[in-house]
Chain A
Amino acid sequence: MAATHERPSAREIFSTLEYGPAPDSHACALAWLDTQDRLLGHYVNGKWLKPEHRNSVPCQDPVTGENLASCLLAEPDDVAAAVEAASDALGSWSGVPGGERAQHLTRLAKMIQKHQQLLWTLDSLATGRAVREVRNGDVPLAQQLLRYHAVQAHVQEEVLPGWKPMGVIGLILPPTFSFLEMMWRICPALAVGCTVVTIVPPDSPTPLLLAQLAGSLGAFCGILNVVTGPASLGAVLGHCPGVQKVVFCGAAEEARVLRQSLAGHWLELSLALGMESLLLLLDSADVDSAVEGIVDAAWSDRSPGGLRLLVQESMWEETMRRLQIRMKRLRSGRGLDGAVDMGTRGAAARDVAQHYVQEAQSQGAEVFQAVTMPPGSPFYPPTLVCSLPPAAPCAQAEVPWPVVMASPFRTAKEALAMANSMPRGGSASVWSERLGQALELGYGLRMGTVWVNTHGLRDPAVPSGGCKESGSSWHGGLDGLYEYLQPPGTPDQPPFVSEHLNYDNFGPAVPATLPAWPETGPSPVPPYGLFVGGRFQPPGARSSRSVWDSSGKLHGYVAEGGAEDVRGAVEAAHRAATGWERQCPGARAALLVALAAALEQRGPGLALQLKRHGAQLEAAQAEVELSARRLRAWAAQAQAQAQGHTLQVAGLRGPVLRLREPLGVLAVVCPDEWPLLAFVSLLAPALAHGNAVVLVPSGTCPLLALEVCQDVASLFPAGLVNVVTGDRDHLTRCLALHQDVQALWYFGSAKGSQFVEWASAGNFKPVWVNRGCPRAWDQEPQGAGPELGLRAAWTKALWLPMGD
């Protein structure tokens, strides 16, 4: 393990053939720290910011405990100063042509190249990660990222015309991270013209060095600002005026708090949560190579977190035997030593692992460690945990680094079910030499990244993201750029200022409805039920609400839906979702076209209803026509978009597939205005991308949506489209708090938007809210813009290396 203090003679080594210490000098890192007098502040606007009267924490060498420097803890004022600097820089940075931004990023890449030794030494010294990983992996990738995004900056204005940079981006990084996590996110943000304020944990000097390197380029000083402080400053950052988006990487619990505290502040929040990965080992795998995959995934310094390992039962013994022998050959040691596999990640990470393993043991798990560490050692040995009963609390908890939690499965189908039942959806690898099996699992896993017969590869051109509790945010590729761009068609009106909202009192129950007397004028249309599971059903509450036309006369009744009906609708949607997802895009498109034709058949009747709600007859007819056109347009786009495309990656033989996957069950609360057009404009992209939907139609005129449902009932599979009428606030509440709804689009009041944002902290469902701003649904960019297509699906990267 650690180096012995007496140097053995060559003669002794000749007989033992032990490895010796192979230390790298860290003189350059210390020299850099000396230039700061061993006191690190924040790097803001191209200058060091070292305000007085701040608390500081020591930055220690995680192995020796030696004090390297002290780091200032930021106060809200410092964050505000950084945001101000970023806001000031925004105008000039987003204003210059993309080519100039590209040049700047390329210069930064060259700057990193020139000072790479300092970068890798400092990073390894301060984080304890093996210097080899930083030198051979992270530093080259950081340069590739800059170069790739420089190219993107060059072409972005032509490839994505009309998309604008979001503005100032706040980035919050977790306590243990590689500086690459920062590079993955700042590169696309800077490329498209955003400026960044990063909050990094106080004992990580590498981001400060990177910011200083960027600052030393002279021009555009304020585009990258780094503030050191706790992650709790995230809320402060989000509340700063000017910040348009916050990207949070870290633990799920902190993300929940942040999500709730930022609700109603009208900024985008992207979450990248959890570091756990998954590995499926099937009976046809090359077991030895899979064991190396496990080492890569969990027991190396390139692995971000722990690993959940699923092994086919017939391979269990063999895998465990090989794994345990392999574990004995792993070496932990000081990161700056050239011959270690694993460094340390500090005492906190060690304690987390220790706690997890002790808990697992007490819940009945078997634990294997090839070496035992002396108490107080900064290292934690590679650990294999198996036979943990699936019902044990530990089995669901996130597996920390460097632990592998292994469980057996019987068939590939079972493996898929087990993997997809995990709350997290980050990354996974499938090990099987049978092509059909590997592809089926690769396509079937609900994970942001799936590697086949390899683990942990990354490339700037490949989007990586996640779903479920891993949070939905992407970095890399085009998807990484979309994260920091405002799509064309975003309404220009400033959003309504949110007020204090008591979340408990928002739409708490079905309001009492009384009969609407007297029924005068033309006789009301016959009452519809709720459209759930492919037919009209009476609501659970057995009561109805009245709908009035523009002249104040009773138009008809609709069912008063409640929590029970929402539950039924979501269940029905789930039953229909799998079949719809498996349909090829062409088949889905054909049904949308058929619906368009049916809509046109119904045209005169729908137009008359619209007229009763205050539209001119011509405008009403136009709305019906446009609705049919929208359906046809999305049918055509579905074929093109839903297929995804192939990426080529440097250094990898074989393709990487970028797949667009349906979200699952998508809940849509339609706006009050444009009762037909908005309903169709939202329904069409959702269906075209393979989602099952639960819709709440316009509150003022829900009858049109229900009338369309008569055609839906005859055309589409039962349960695919469900329409629940009733009190919109209450229904919104039910949908937003439903854990098994995968995404929610809300078009309604500012209060409702705030509630939806707040409630999404429950299962981190991606939400899209209009913040109380009306949208011009009849305009092409707002009513049928690229944003709808982007929001209606998520991206998965499937890596398929080839070779024999």
Chain B
Amino acid sequence: MPPAVYDIEIRVAQTLHLIYSSPGEYWDSQCSEDEEPFQKDSLMNLTLAVRLRAGSDLSWISNIQVNQPAVLRRAEQIQARRTLKKEWQAAWLLKAVTFIDLTTLSGDDTFSNIQRLCYKAKYPIREDLLKALNMHDEGITVAAVCVYPARVCDAVKALKAAGCDIPVASVATGFPAAQTHLKTRLEEIRLAVEDGATEIDVVINRSLVLTGRWEALYDEIRQFRQACGEAHLKTILATGELGSLTNVYKASMIAMMAGSDFIKTSTGKETVNATFPVAIVMLRAIRDFFWKTGNKVGFKPAGGIRTAKDSLAWLCLMKEELGDEWLRPELFRIGASSLLTDIEQQIYHHVTGRYAASHDLPMS
């Protein structure tokens, strides 16, 4: 459990102590009369009540300002301001490979293509190309393999057969729309974890954001967190459906307060996916959260990242907005399926000086 969550639990315990020892005093200090009645039996609600009614924490999302035109402008600039050439490009591209959550989320996924994907995850770049760059012994693999819950078993099996410990990530909670009952969404997480997924990409309930029910959103994500147990929690904000950048910031902050290990831009199934303006807002939220709590939360853009050039732009964005410490797989992932092929082609070109034909590189 990350320290942020741990802190919360301590504070809950302290507050509980106060409530039970002198309830009158607590309520005088915390509540006005018109607030909803207190539910003593729900620990989760209490946690929420303590965190959000404490005032300072709610201010984390109530006082924020995001100016959309200015963010768009920054997004335009940041893509043009850094370029990488030659060795730098090759090294950065290899680094990008290690951030990839190699993903297949299709209705027609079966064991055979999952298996192929897992082998590609283990051997993302042709061995001779890595040798030419003197990088063959760095153990370059992608960061994780990401599949639907029903395919987790296949992936675990395939990776085991390939003899590697690349984590399996599973989407969950009614992916991609999250329009199922909370109970089944929670159950989905537990089943995926049981099948061997060590990272869970949950998708938030957009209706809670759009109706401004931040406390309920916090509550849900807290329950996801608990259902995950030891597994990492990546929270997909589906930013294309949140309506405004201000909502993106608020949802990011709530997701981090509720204990997410990563916040992720989109499912890849919305009409608008990972865009730079959205990413800038999320990264600023991550930095603010870090400054307030000391906890580093990871970032995962997903959807629409297809070219090597795109991936470099995302790495530069991370370096510029958050710094080098976020440039590691524990804190940065790129959700992608076809990106790896393009990176391999670029590496091929860097090493050989020629552009690769499609048959030069193994398919995934």
Q: Which residue among A9, A132, A287, A288 has the maximum number of chain B CB atoms within 10 Å of its CB?
A: A288
Q: Is the CB of A453 within 8 A of B133?
A: no
Task: Assess the B88–A20 pair: CB atoms within 8 A.
Answer: yes
Q: Mark A1-35, 1 if CB is under 8 A from B, else 0.
A: 00000011111111001111110000000000000
Which of A293-336 touch B at CB < 8 Å?
293, 329
Task: Tell me the complex Cα distance, A16–B74, Å.
Answer: 26
| CB pair A433 B65 closer than 8 Å | yes
Interchain CA distance A156-B306 in the complex, whole Å:
50
Report the stretch among A593-601, A772-780, A796-804 that lies at the interface.
A796-804
**Given A14-B91, A132-B80, A286-B85 contact (CB < 8 Å):** no
Given A17-B319, A19-B84, A132-B80, decide whether A653 and B70 contact each other with a Cβ distance below 8 A. Answer: no
Name the residue on A nearest B78 (C-beta): A292
Q: Is the CB of A14 within 8 A of B95?
A: yes
Residue A454 CB within 8 A of the other chain? yes
Would you call A411 an interface residue if the criterion is a C-beta within 8 Å of the partner chain's C-beta atoms? Answer: no
CB nearest to A287 among chain B residues: B65
B53 within 8 A of A: no
A80 shortest CB reach to chain B, Å = 45
Question: Are A11's CB and B80's CB within 8 A?
Answer: no
Q: What is the chain A residue whose CB lies nearest that of B351?
A: A10
**B65 in contact with A285 (CB, 8 Å):** yes
Whole-angstrom distance between the Cβ of B221 and the nearest chain A Cβ: 24
| Nearest opposing residue in chain B for A284, CB measure | B65
CA distance A151 to B267 in the complex (A): 48
The answer to whether A8 touches B70 (Cβ under 8 A) is: no
**CB of B87 within 8 Å of the partner chain:** yes
Once bound together, how far apart are the Cα atoms of A582 and B133, in whole Å? 71
Q: Which residue of A lies closest to B245 (CB)?
A: A804
In contact, A11 and B91 (Cβ under 8 angstroms): yes
Check if B253 is an interface residue, CB within 8 A of chain A: no
Q: Which of A17, A285, A329, A341 contacts B92 (CB 8 A)?
A: A17
| B269 at the binding interface (Cβ < 8 Å) | no
B87 A8 Cβ-Cβ under 8 A: yes
Asked if A433 meets B83 with Cβ closer than 8 Å, knowing A9-B134, A17-B319, A292-B74, the reply is no
A293 and B77 alpha carbons, distance in the complex (Å): 12
- Residue from B80, B85, B94, B246 in contact with A20 in the complex, judged by beta carbons closer than 8 Å: B85
Query: A residues within 8 A CB of B58?
Result: none
Main SS at interface, chain A: loop
B83 touches A9 (CB 8 A): no
Q: Given A8-B87, A14-B91, A20-B87, is A801 in contact with B81 using a C-beta cutoff of 8 Å? A: no
Q: Is B181 an interface residue, CB under 8 A from the partner?
A: no
Report chain B residues within 8 Å CB of A339: 81-84
Chain A residue contacts of B69, Cβ below 8 A: 453-454, 653-654, 801-803
Most chain B beta-carbon neighbours within 10 Å: one of A285, A289, A453, A802: A289
- Give a binary string over B310-321; 1 marks a CB under 8 Å from any A CB, 0 the rest: 000001000110
Contacts of B82 in A (CB 8 A): 19, 338-339
Answer yes or no: B138 CB below 8 A from chain A CBs: yes
Contact assessment for A803 and B74 in the assembled complex, using a CB-CB cutoff below 8 Å: no
Interface string of B87-101 (1 = CB under 8 A from A): 110111011000000
CB distance from B97 to the nearest CB of A (A): 10
> B66 near A: Cβ within 8 Å?
yes
Closest to A293 in B: B70
* Contact of A136 with B by CB under 8 A: yes
Tell whether B68 is near chain A: CB-to-CB under 8 Å: yes
Is B327 on the interface with A (CB-CB < 8 A)?
yes
Known: A339-B82, A339-B83, A803-B72. A13 touches B66 (CB 8 A): no
From residue B84, how far is it (CB to closest CB) to chain A in Å? Answer: 6
Q: Which residues of A contact B72 (CB under 8 A)?
A: 803
Closest to A18 in B: B88
Is the beta-carbon distance between A14 and B84 smaller than 8 angstroms?
A: no
Chain A residues within an 8 Å CB radius of B74: 289, 292
Chain B residues closer than 8 Å to A803, beta-carbon distance? 68-69, 72
The one of A11, A20, A284, A654 in contact with B84, judged by C-beta atoms closer than 8 angstroms, is: A20
B135 interface residue, CB < 8 Å from A? yes
Contact yes or no, B67 A289, CB < 8 A: yes
Q: Which residues of B contact A341 (CB under 8 A)?
A: 81
Closest A residue, CB atoms, query B319: A17
A17 CB contact (under 8 Å) in B80, B244, B324 = B324
- Considering the complex, give the chain A residue whose CB is closest to the CB of B244: A804
Interface residue tally of chain A, by bracket?
35 or more
Task: Indicate if the CB atoms of A288 and B284 lie closer than 8 Å.
Answer: yes
- The 8 Å CB contact of B135, one of A10, A136, A292, A801, is A10
Flag whether B71 is at the interface (Cβ < 8 A): yes
Minimum distance in angstroms from A357 CB to a CB of chain B: 25
Q: Which of A11, A17, A21, A454 contacts B70 (CB 8 A)?
A: A454
Q: Are A454 and B73 in contact, CB atoms less than 8 angstroms apart?
A: yes
- Least distance between A408 CB and chain B CB atoms (Å): 19
Residue interface bits B276-295, CB-to-A below 8 A is 1, else 0: 00000000100000000000
Give the residue of B68, B81, B86 whose beta carbon is less than 8 angstroms from that of A804: B68
Residues of chain A with a CB closer than 8 A to B68's CB: 803-804
What residue in chain A is nearest B64 (Cβ atoms)? A286
- Which of B65, B73, B94, B320 is A329 in contact with, Cβ under 8 Å? B320
| Cα(A132)–Cα(B91), bound, Å | 24
Interface pair A14/B138, CB less than 8 Å apart: yes
Complex: how many Å from CA A803 to CA B69?
Answer: 6
Residues of B within 8 A of A10 (CB): 87, 90-91, 94, 133-135
Q: CB-CB < 8 A to A338: which residues of B?
A: 82-83, 85
Known: A10-B90, A292-B74, A804-B68. A22 touches B84 (CB 8 A): yes
**A286–B65 CB distance below 8 A:** yes
Q: In the complex, are the beta carbons of B87 and A13 less than 8 A apart?
A: yes
In the complex, which residues of chain A have a beta carbon less than 8 angstroms from the beta carbon of B83? Answer: 22, 338-339
Report the Cα distance A285→B65, complex, angstroms: 6
Q: Mark B18-30, 1 if CB is under 8 A from A, else 0.
A: 0000000000000
| Residue on B nearest A289 in the bound complex, by CB | B70
Known A11-B91, A453-B69; judge A17-B81 contact (CB<8 A): no
Residues on the B chain within 8 Å of A284, using CB: 65
CB–CB A14/B70 < 8 A: no
Q: A10-B135, A14-B95 are in contact. Are A289 and B87 (CB under 8 A)?
A: no
B66 contacts A286, C-beta separation under 8 Å: yes
**Residues on the B chain within 8 Å of A654, using CB:** 69
- Interface 0/1 of B118-140, CB less than 8 Å to A: 00000000000000011100100
A20 partner residues in chain B, CB cutoff 8 A: 84-88
Contact B85 A21 (CB under 8 A): yes
* Smallest beta-carbon distance B131→chain A, Å: 12
Query: Nearest chain-A residue to B89 (Cβ)?
Result: A20
Complex Cα distance, B63 from A285, in Å, reads 10
Fill in one digit per residue for B243-257: 1 if any A CB lies within 8 Å of its CB, else 0. 011100000000000
Which residues on the A side are within 8 Å of B95 (C-beta)? 14, 17
The distance in angstroms between the C-alpha atoms of A18 and B83, with both chains bound, is 12
A453 touching B84, Cβ below 8 Å: no
Interface string of B153-187 (1 = CB under 8 A from A): 00000000000000000000000000000000000
Tell me the minimal C-beta distance from B287 to chain A in angstroms.
9
Chain A residues near B138 (CB, 8 Å)? 11, 14
User: What separation, in Å, do the CA atoms of A284 and B134 have in the docked complex?
Assistant: 52
- CA of A232 to CA of B90, assembled, Å: 53
Given A13-B92, A132-B80, A286-B67; A22-B324 close (CB under 8 Å): no
Using Cβ atoms and an 8 Å threshold, which residues of chain A touch B90?
Answer: 10
For the complex, what is the distance from the CA of A11 to the CA of B140, rounded to whole Å?
A: 12
In the bound complex, CA of A654 to CA of B73 (Å) = 14
B142 to nearest A CB, angstroms?
15
Bound together, the chains give a CA A18 to CA B82 distance in angstroms of 12
**A13-B91, A14-B94, A329-B320 are known contacts; what are 12 more A-B pairs with Cβ within 8 Å?**
A7-B87, A10-B87, A11-B133, A12-B91, A14-B135, A18-B88, A136-B80, A287-B65, A289-B67, A453-B70, A454-B73, A803-B72
Q: List 15 A-B contacts (CB under 8 A).
A: A10-B94, A10-B134, A11-B91, A11-B134, A14-B138, A17-B324, A20-B85, A20-B87, A21-B85, A22-B88, A132-B81, A136-B80, A285-B67, A293-B70, A338-B82
